[in-house]
Structure 1
Amino acid sequence: MKFLLLWLKGCAMGTADVVPGVSGGTIAFVSGIYEELIESIKRVDMTALRLLGRLRFKELWRHLNGSFLLPVLLGIATAIFSLARLMTYLLVHHPIGVWSFFFGLIVASALLVAREVGKWDWRSVVALLTGAAVAWWITAATPVATPETWWFVMLSGAIAICAMILPGISGAFILLLLGKYQFILQAVSELNVPVLLCFLAGAVAGIVSFSHLLSWLLKHWHDVTVATLMGFMIGSLNKVWPWKEVLETYTDSHGKLQPLIEANVLPDRFDWGAVLLCAAGFALIYGIDIAARAIARKRR
């Protein structure tokens, strides 16, 4: 039962990381496995490599907290591979509805992350505004077109996977900023092994190194770090605004025209469907939070 429960929590994290707006770290946080996840990832170190080299698998399993880490990772992988094809279809055929849903998800996630700031002082406010300004600039300045070479795929994996352990910023959203969200989704749905191996190599390197940095930042600069993350999420709303006007296009490697530079515009008419989907995304995040708090109260 413990294995199944951890697998389900991993599935929820994986689902969140496929959606550019919900953080797998947020799901880990509200489901009560966040701190153990950080500490387990930190154990992928030289000691683990030495134990592996000496084939001392039982000690390696205990050192890595394998009974916890394995079901969580399996759950994440299950969700990612099962949802990638669906997300690719929805983004192509129902873009406004999908982005409206994402918009609501990000707003709700940002508000939940704000509650984790213990004290709002001038440093937290400056961190919030700086994070929002940087994210807004990145979303406005970075074109959709980025290299599809192996080194950039590895870099994308290293940066995006770090978001999985951040309560408040989505790995899928980072891929959006890097212009690699649909590219990686397509690689997953088509089982493009070379691309996936490059992405995975970067992800492993990124998450192992970043877990140590994140642990230190949250321990010594908790409120400033969380406020920065919240600002980054607020600034990201520029990227997921559902209604866009394409200003410039480019031809991708398959000969198809793709948007290169876009500008946010207001909709031609009031769209009830988009509003309802935005509200549904908002309600989903708060529903998860309310359920997690109810479970926590029962355990006490």
Structure 2
Amino acid sequence: MIRLKTLLHGAAMGITELVPGVSSSTIAMLMGIYEKLLAAISDLTTGNWKRGLSFLIPLGIGMVASVLLFVSIIRYLLGEHNQPMMFLFMGLVLGILPFLWRSAHAETNRPFRPIHFIIIAAAFILVATTSFFGESGQEVMTDLTIGSYVYLFISGWIASTALVLPGISGSLMFMILGVYYTAIAAVDDFNFPVIITIGLGVLVGLLITSRIVRYLLRAYTQATYSAMIGLVAGSLIVIFPGTFPTTFLYTLVCVMTFIFGLSTALTFGKAERSQ
């Protein structure tokens, strides 16, 4: 049952990785496995690598399976019904903020100081400004050279932050770096050289970044949670589709998807708090 649950967690994270602006680590927090994810990644470079793999393998299988199964569906929904999808994810992201706020106070039993609000504002601005770069990289890279593969590897490394830092979207980072459509096309076409190159970059990035974030959570807990709150809140600006629905029916659909996402996140957050 535990493995099946981990597979489902991975599937949910994999789906969000297909959506620019939505961070899979935010979803990991929503499902209550964020710290376990960091610990498992860290275990790979210690004597507990078997324990880490016992969690990461089913999680990874779930992520890969959901990407392969839903890549075409997500692309269709984002293309044909973008607004309801974006309002759904806005609801999910907004609903996790109270959980992060409570977690920060529960871990330290201290209120935020002015410096923490400054960190929240800085992190919010950092992520919100990425919305200005979301339309880059719309062409699929062809005639790849060694330099192209090096760039894809580095892009995977940078995008791996999405699995570690809530609020940072791997798909959005791919867009900013100009490789989003190349990565999506590679999955659609089973272009294994491109998939493996990006995947190796993601793996190397995870091994390094996860250790840094785990250390910060232990040594600077409240400041790190402050940054996470700002990052997640800033992603709301990135996810917002830019316009509101123009018809009553479509407005109703968007309101319903937003409420569904919000209530789902709040429910998961309360369940995680009670554990």
Pairwise same-fold verdict (TM > 0.5): yes
Q: Is the 8 A contact 1:88 1:185 kept in 2?
A: no
Give 1 or 2 for the bigger CA radius of gyration.
1
CA shift, 1:116, in A, is 3.0
Distance 1:77 1:103, change over 3 A: same
CA shift, 1:132, in A, is 1.8
SS of 1:242's partner is coil
Q: Which one of the candidate residues 252, 261, 266 is aligned to 1:284? A: 261
1:5 paired to 2:5: yes
Alignment of 1:199-238 (within 5 A): 199-238=198-237
Identity score, percent: 25
CA shift, 1:174, in A, is 3.3
Deviations 1:164-193 (A, max 9, x none): 133444433433444443432232122122
> Which structure: greater strand fraction?
1
1:96 paired to 2:83: yes
Q: Which moved more, 1:17-26 or 1:126-135?
A: 17-26
SS of 1:116's partner is helix
- Across the aligned residues of Structure 1 and Structure 2, the Cα RMSD in angstroms comes to 3.1
Distance 1:29 1:240, change over 3 A: closer
CA shift, 1:271, in A, is 5.4
CA shift, 1:218, in A, is 0.9
Q: Which one of the candidate residues 38, 63, 74 is aligned to 1:76? A: 63
SS of 1:144's partner is coil
Q: Is the 8 A contact 1:85 1:186 kept in 2?
A: no
1:120 paired to 2:112: yes
Alpha-carbon distance in 1 for matches of 2:190, 2:130: 30
Deviations 1:260-279 (A, max 9, x none): xxxxxx55845552463255
Q: Is the 8 A contact 2:100 2:225 kept in 1?
A: yes
Deviations 1:86-138 (A, max 9, x none): 12222333333333333333333445433333232111110111112222333
SS of 1:91's partner is helix
CA shift, 1:205, in A, is 0.7
Q: Is the 8 A contact 1:158 1:207 kept in 2?
A: yes
> Which structure: greater helix fraction?
2
Other-structure match for 2:31: 31
Q: Is the 8 A contact 1:110 1:234 kept in 2?
A: yes
Q: Which one of the candidate residues 137, 153, 160 is aligned to 1:145? A: 137
Runs (4+) of structure 1 exceeding 6 A deviation are none
What is the TM-score normalised by the length of structure 1? 0.73
Q: Is the 8 A contact 2:25 2:34 kept in 1?
A: yes
Q: Which moved more, 1:272-281 or 1:208-217?
A: 272-281
SS of 2:208's partner is helix
Alpha-carbon distance in 1 for matches of 2:24, 2:64: 12
Structure 2: stretches of 5+ with no match in the other structure: 106-110, 142-147
SS of 1:166's partner is coil
The count of residues paired between Structure 1 and Structure 2 equals 263
The amino acid of 1:33's aligned partner reads I
What is the TM-score normalised by the length of structure 2? 0.79
1:130 paired to 2:122: yes
Q: Is the 8 A contact 1:42 1:212 kept in 2?
A: yes
CA shift, 1:202, in A, is 0.7
Q: Is the 8 A contact 2:20 2:171 kept in 1?
A: yes
Other-structure match for 2:188: 189
CA shift, 1:44, in A, is 2.1
Distance 1:68 1:215, change over 3 A: same
Other-structure match for 2:108: none
SS of 1:172's partner is helix
Deviations 1:5-55 (A, max 9, x none): 22222222222333345433233334343333212211222x67xxxxxxx
The amino acid of 2:264's aligned partner reads G
1:85 paired to 2:72: yes
SS of 1:117's partner is helix
SS of 1:175's partner is helix
Identify which of structures 1 and 2 has the higher relative contact order when contacts are C-alpha pairs closer than 8 Å and 6+ apart: 2
Alpha-carbon distance in 2 for matches of 1:292, 1:234: 16
CA shift, 1:242, in A, is 1.8
